[in-house]
Structure 1
Amino acid sequence: MTGDPEPISAQARRALEQELADLRDERRLVAGTLRESSASAGDQADQADQLRRADQLGRLDRRIEDITERLREAASAGPAPTDVVGVGSTVTVRFPDGETETLRIGEVAEALDQTLVTADSPLGRALLGRRPGDTVRYDTPDGPATAVLVSIGEPTSS
């Protein structure tokens, strides 16, 4: 990633917003159980349970903060670039065997999407900042590989 705020696709935004809502609901539940049980002093098992819930609350707070910041950055980044590959771009690449695929450069929040290549994957990192016609080199479990960036945007017919 470039260090500048990165755009986010509409699908990733929805997924992050849903995760944020779910985390806030879970946080309310956990915080409620902490308040209820803190009124009565208990044995060591109760104290251990309180510590576990306090730790869970801290993890939830950190994830809520991370998602909130990511959404804020995405809002200031604007739409995905169309002249160079960035997070949120749809790209068409051609592999050495002639196979052409249309992929989206996205984030983990979109992991169920079969056309997703995450920006921190080897192919995703290789594509970031590239322009149509560029050949990218990246590592795979089977060794080094290459692909040609055919286009940025909707699929082209070739």
Structure 2
Amino acid sequence: MTGDPEPISAQARRALEQELADLRDERRLVAGTLHDSLSVGDQADQADELQRADQLERIDRRIEDITERLRQAEEAGPAPTDEVGVGSTVTVRFPDGSVESLQVGELAEALDQTLVTADSPLGRALLGHRPGDTVHYQTPDGPASAVVVSIGGSPTSS
């Protein structure tokens, strides 16, 4: 990625917004269990209190990260249509003749077969390319390539 704010897909935005809502709920629950340090009893209670404080700190960091990512995506605007970027839907043709439309995103969804992450070998290879370009990348089985057919449209597998 370029270091500039990157757009994200609507699906990735929804996932981040849901995670943010869940984290805020979790934060309220954890914060509600913290007690005034003067009223803490024995060492076990103190250890529990420290553990909850650490958990709260981790939650706060993740909330901050997600909030910043969503803010940057807003600044970046929509995914580019002239070259492949994060948030783009790109149709590629593989050497065996198969053609697939893929979404280049940040977050891997376990059941989403049309998403490639921007930091995967194919995702990195696609970034910055235009229709007609051939990209080369490494797979566990060795070198591979694909041709960028088009950018835009809805991701579908064929």
Establish whether TM, by shorter chain, passes 0.5: yes
Structure 1 residue 66 displacement after superposition:
0.4
Report if aligned partners of 2:83, 2:127 keep a CA contact under 8 Å in 1: yes
1:49 matched to 2:35? The reply is no
Aligned partner of residue 45 in structure 1, secondary structure: helix
TM-score (norm 2): 0.92
Aligned to 2:140: 141
Amino acid at match of 1:114: Q
The ranges of structure 1 where at least 4 consecutive aligned residues each deviate by more than 6 angstroms after the TM superposition are none
- Unpaired runs of at least 5, structure 2: none
Aligned partner of residue 65 in structure 1, secondary structure: helix
TM-score (norm 1): 0.92
2 CA distance for matches of 1:48 and 1:141? 45
Cα RMSD between the aligned structures? 1.4
| Deviation sequence 1:13-41 (CA, Å, 0-9, x none) | 11111110110110111011013x64522
Percent of matched pairs sharing the same residue = 84
Alignment of 1:1-158 (within 5 A): 1-35=1-35, 38=37, 40-108=39-107, 110-154=109-153
Equivalenced residue count is 154
CA change 1:19–1:76 in 2 (3 A) is same
Structure 1 residue 112 displacement after superposition:
3.9
Aligned partner of residue 39 in structure 2, secondary structure: coil
Amino acid at match of 1:22: D
CA change 1:86–1:111 in 2 (3 A) is farther
